Amino acid sequence: MSPNLGKELREIRKEAEQQGWTVIRGKRYWKLRCPCEEKHKKSMSPTPSNPNYVKNLLGELRRATCWKG
Ligand SMILES: [Zn+2]
């Protein structure tokens, strides 16, 4: 995993918290929970092997949750 990828993942978690999401470190994954009534959630791998992981994750957040930006 590139150092850059770790940084990008940290930034997504920070952004999530700023949007009111709950960010929890689970045993194997980070858990992101949306504050809305539908309770959207997303898990984030701390060590993804896919180089497109961040792009895919953000795409899913934008498509399927209340993610802004
Ligand atoms: Zn939501």
Q: Where are the domains of the chain?
A: 3-63
Reported as a single tens digit per residue, the pLDDT across 8-58 is 999 999 999 999 999 999 999 999 999 999 999 999 999 999 989 999 999
The CA distance from 34 to 47, in Å, is 22
Token representation of residue 33: 């929970």
At residue 57, the 3 state secondary structure works out as helix
Ligand 1 center from residue 54 Cα (angstroms): 19
Ligand 1 center from residue 33 Cα (angstroms): 8
Cα 61 off chain centre by = 8
Higher per-residue confidence, 2 vs 17: 17
Ligand 1 center from residue 38 Cα (angstroms): 6
Ligand 1 center from residue 3 Cα (angstroms): 29
The CA distance from 37 to 47, in Å, is 30
